[in-house]
Amino acid sequence: MKSIEQYQKGIKRVLITQEEIRQAVKKAGRFIDSIYDGRPILLVSVLKGAYVFMADLSREITVPCEIAFMCVKSYFEGTSSSGTVNIVMDLDHDVSNYHVVIAEDIIDTGRTLKKLVEILKSRNPLSLHVVTLLDKPDRRVVEMKADMSLFVIPDHFVIGYGLDAAEYYRTLPYIAEYGGD
């Protein structure tokens, strides 16, 4: 466990404020509404990092919406991708009758999202779109682009708004650069 001093030291600087996130999430909700024009969707959150983003995004979407979760891991207690992508928890939906929107927290190397998109496309959804909170293109090692990226960020390890460092900092209402231990 971290002491409060260690915890606070881990927050190096705020990169994206709570208000900036709020405005961008509203815009993403309008984007999704414009694509689906009243047709129902299945909004898939990638756990754990995207849970806060997906919760806020779902409240901004006006088209009928079901919620589902997948857990995909490529970071195992560290601050850099392992290069291995594991599906820890899969959907319990047959997506072939759904317009699927993946709500992702961050596209870093692109490996995790690419694997997830391949899996979901193989299940023949009616359509598939990706909306990501953060895009870190400088770290990309595979070709992967979201249909909408709310923020493009430099190559910093970030925390807050669902993103963590060893399970800490998810509840911060903003995105911050991680300062380490």
Provide the annotated active-site residues.
108
Query: Could you tell me the strand order of the sheet in which 175-178 lies?
Result: 11-16, 175-178, 158-159
Residue 177 is given by DSSP the state: E
Hey, which residues does 53 pair with through a beta bridge?
none
How far, in Å, CA of 121 to CA of 119, rounded?
6
**Closest residue by Cα to residue 104 from 93, 115, 92:** 115
| Contact of 46 with 102, CB cutoff 8 Å | yes
Q: How far is CA 26 from the centre of its chain?
A: 16
Q: Which residue has the tokens 């992508």?
A: 85
